[in-house]
Structure 1
Amino acid sequence: MVEEKTYQKNTVVFSQGDAGDCMYCIECGKIGIYDRYGQPDEVKIAELEAGAIFGEMSLLDNAPRSATAVVSEDGTVLSEISEETFEKFFEISPDRLLVLSEQMSHRLRDTTRRYVEACKTVNESLNAEKNGIKKSEGLLARIKQLCEEYVRSLRSA
């Protein structure tokens, strides 16, 4: 039914832009999720561990992969869940449907929070410049924090 495969470190499971006909569950090991993988400006979006499910977006909406998934540890074991085995997988392991729902909710909330904070910070900065107002310490701290988060994501990639 569900196929398990063992992967070695640095193996690309799927690439950004690929068609997505399956999703994966990490049985053991770790997976790095990257934007623009292998390019000078690549960004590590997340590091996923055992129990995490990834690749679900393309399976559910038939859109191309939005990121690249790369194995972070030798011996990482992934279950591959195709369209054909999707329903059966969750019938056998209904707890994993809750895990998937929680992960998707968490990712959406986190992305929304970061996006809104970045928009507020940029807007406040642009307004300060436009009106010739010195940027407040709080604004400068938020700009610095956004930049540091971005640099950290580049370093961890």
Structure 2
Amino acid sequence: MTAGLEGMFPGLAPEILDAVRQTVEVHALPAGALIMAAGDETTSLYLIDSGRITVFRDIGSEGGERVLATLSAGAILGEMALLDGQPRSASARAETDCRLTEIDPAKILALPNGDQVLGALRGCLAVAVTNRMRTQTDKYVAAVEREMAAIRERQHFGQFFIYALGMMTIGLLINDVISKQILKVDVFTPTFAWVYLLIILIPTSVIIWRMKIPLRDLGITAVGMKRSLVEGAGLSVLIVAVAFAAAWVLRVTGLHAGTPVPAEWGPTTGYFFHSVLQELVARGLLQSSFQRFLDDRRGIQSVVLSSTLFGVFHIHFGFMAVIVTILSGLLFGAVYLRHRNLAGVTLLHFFAGGAAFWSGLL
């Protein structure tokens, strides 16, 4: 008990502590015992020496209750009534066998210097209560902030879900209605590719703005750029070598006689920037958003989903184009997962696509 008083009221002078010790009473309570009830006009303060106590309020007419707090050894109970003299605002029950030290203000007032002792005790207790309230306020504010963040996350997920549906609708409309029935254009021209990409970029830009996604979350950052570029360049060399070797084998065996397309400055530069924008949509937005909203820690689901969705955007080029886009997207997504930087994966995208044309595979 002595250590309990000194630990609970470290600011009290020794003579005040000695006076309080003369009035305390120790209680051993079995589990289930009611310590106080809401509305009681008692004003004793209890120090919990051992055990666990539940503070609660009765609610409704069906006998239910709402738990307000669970207190363990080292905590105090009933401090508000001692401070303001008002009836108990809640009930308390022993959840386990407990040992309590009771401080009764009436017994303190019976001492020769009772007013002084009780005043000092209330002052020290008020500091302790204020500190506890400050801690509880900080916890409450943190909980509110977490809830608000969760609400914003749900709103962002709804916006992203609508965006994904809209993107699929755009792909299907362009494939089945605009390109084939209305405009009847050649979807394999660079002009169509650029127009289609720019159409996709309009809702993409809107969703990035609405969701306030920072550039670093889109992979546009200097962090990891060097490693990303080195890995992207190494894989690009490998992909280009494989593409030219495969094209040579297909021509020699007569299985495929595609005509190589020279790497001219204008079209090649245009395709590079086209690759940048495609990766911004596919990896920067789609893959990153899927991983965030699905809490996909490993990122595998996100890579598959973003690659599949982006493959659907290419349905107007034919079924084989969708398959190739999905497979290449799996590779690009895996590379992006390693560094969260668009630099290397964009380089790989550019050389992989370019090699298919330069070698004559496409």
Q: Which has the larger radius of gyration?
A: 2
Cα distance change of structure 1 residues 96 and 71 upon mapping to structure 2, 3 Å threshold: same
Mapped to 2, the partners of 1:136 and 1:12 lie a distance apart of 44
CA shift for structure 1 position 66: 1.1
Residue 15 of structure 1 pairs with residue 37 of structure 2: yes
Cα distance change of structure 1 residues 42 and 138 upon mapping to structure 2, 3 Å threshold: farther
Which aligned pairs between 1:44-55 and structure 2 lie closer than 5 A?
Answer: 44-55=67-78
CA shift for structure 1 position 42: 1.0
2:43 is matched by which residue type in structure 1?
D
Residue 79 of structure 1 pairs with residue 108 of structure 2: no
Mapped to 2, the partners of 1:65 and 1:138 lie a distance apart of 42
Which is further off, 31-40 or 9-18? 31-40
CA shift for structure 1 position 45: 1.1
Mapped to 1, the partners of 2:74 and 2:119 lie a distance apart of 14
Residue 66 of structure 1 pairs with residue 89 of structure 2: yes
CA shift for structure 1 position 102: 3.3
CA shift for structure 1 position 27: 0.7
Cα distance change of structure 1 residues 81 and 138 upon mapping to structure 2, 3 Å threshold: farther
Alignment deviations for residues 102-157 of structure 1 (CA, whole Å, 9 cap, x no partner): 334334x168638x94xx97xxx9xxxxxxxxx98259xxxxxxxxxxxxxxxxxx
Residue 4 of structure 1 pairs with residue 4 of structure 2: no
Aligned to 2:270: none
1:23 is matched by which residue type in structure 2?
L
Aligned to 1:29: 51
1:63 is matched by which residue type in structure 2?
Q
Which is further off, 2-11 or 82-91? 82-91
Mapped to 2, the partners of 1:2 and 1:18 lie a distance apart of 20
1:67 is matched by which residue type in structure 2?
A
CA shift for structure 1 position 17: 1.3
Mapped to 1, the partners of 2:63 and 2:155 lie a distance apart of 31
Q: TM-score, normalised by structure 1?
A: 0.59
Which aligned pairs between 1:74-153 and structure 2 lie closer than 5 A?
Answer: 74=97, 76-84=98-106, 85=108, 100-107=129-136, 109=137, 113=141, 117=144, 137-138=154-155
Mapped to 1, the partners of 2:29 and 2:63 lie a distance apart of 25
Task: From the two aligned structures, give the one with the greater strand fraction.
Answer: 1
The higher relative CO (CA closer than 8 Å, separation ≥ 6) is in: 1
Cα distance change of structure 1 residues 99 and 14 upon mapping to structure 2, 3 Å threshold: same
CA shift for structure 1 position 83: 1.3
Identity in percent: 28
Runs of 4+ in 1 over 4 A off after TM superposition: 86-92, 95-101
CA shift for structure 1 position 88: 5.0
Residue 103 of structure 1 aligns to a residue whose secondary structure is: helix
2:79 is matched by which residue type in structure 1?
E
Note the aligned Cα RMSD (angstroms): 3.9
CA contact (8 A) 1:29 1:50 kept: yes
1:17 is matched by which residue type in structure 2?
G
Mapped to 1, the partners of 2:86 and 2:32 lie a distance apart of 25
Aligned to 2:340: none
Please, which runs of 5 or more residues in structure 1 have no aligned partner? Answer: 126-134, 140-157
Task: From the two aligned structures, give the one with the greater helix fraction.
Answer: 2
